[in-house]
Amino acid sequence: MKKCLPSVAFLFFIFLIPSIRAQVPVEEDPFHKIVFENKFVRVLDLTIRGSDTTTMHVHRAASVVVFLTKSPLVIQAPGEAAVVTPVDIGNMLYRPYDETPTTHRVWSQDGSTMRCMVIEIKHDATQRDGKPIVAPDVNLLSNQKRVNVYDLKGSQGKALSLSSSPCPYFLLNISGPLTASVSGEKHFLNAGDFIFIPAQSQATLLAAKDNKSILIQLK
């Protein structure tokens, strides 16, 4: 009986290897594309359609997830049943993956295009004055240790100004064309476009028509 133990242990190790290898860091999943990175954030653009299914991947950074399409998203953790979660354009989630890493794979239940942005927070918190913004058409969605997340409602021809702040911002345009003037430089954003606004910048947002965007204040 004792002679069998090494064989059993060897078989266990062999079957364990594929399980370990199957769980890759999120940036190694072919459907998560890194589209921007600096010392504050890393942004991954995830698009799946048809029979696309991500690999079983691991998230380890605190993340703001913003959905850019309406679709039935399916999420499955290892060894668990798949869960269908309907998502809509502009839906936002904050996930403290830095505290509780998560492994899963995702796909679209009906094959429709599902696109979202995963904004990973890289910097340490509590270094800046992160007082919430109080202004018309600015709705605080989430107040976290490391970020504040806002829903911005833009009206045609009405400018929204962001005063100079010790906190940098990340702006993701959800719908309609938007012009962002940052320290005198203009940036034209369509739906799904984004811009990083450095600390101490003067920024003005002007929508060509009614518009929605998500603003992340990096504390």
Secondary structure of 132-150 as H, E, C letters: CCCCCCEEEEEECCCEEEE
Residue 121 makes CB contacts below 8 A (sequence gap 6+) with 40, 41, 61, 62, 63, 64, 98, 146, 147, 218
pLDDT at 2 over 50: no
pLDDT in tens, 99-126: 999 999 999 999 999 999 999 999 665 5
Tell me whether domains 24-121 and 138-218 share a fold. Answer: yes
Domain ranges of the chain: 24-121, 138-218
CATH 2.60.120.10 fits 138-218, yes or no: yes
On whether the CB atoms of residues 115 and 31 are closer than 8 A, the answer is: no
- The pLDDT of residue 25 is 98
Check residue 98 and give its pLDDT: 95
Q: How many CB atoms lie within 10 A of CB 76?
A: 17
Q: What is the pLDDT of residues 162-214, one digit of tens each?
A: 988 899 999 999 998 999 999 989 999 999 999 999 999 999 999 988 899 99
Tens of pLDDT, residue by residue over 72-99, are: 999 999 999 999 999 999 999 999 999 9
CATH domain 24-121 topology = Jelly Rolls (2.60.120)
What would the pLDDT profile of 24-79 be if each residue is shown by its tens digit?
999 999 999 999 999 999 999 999 999 999 999 999 999 999 999 999 999 999 99
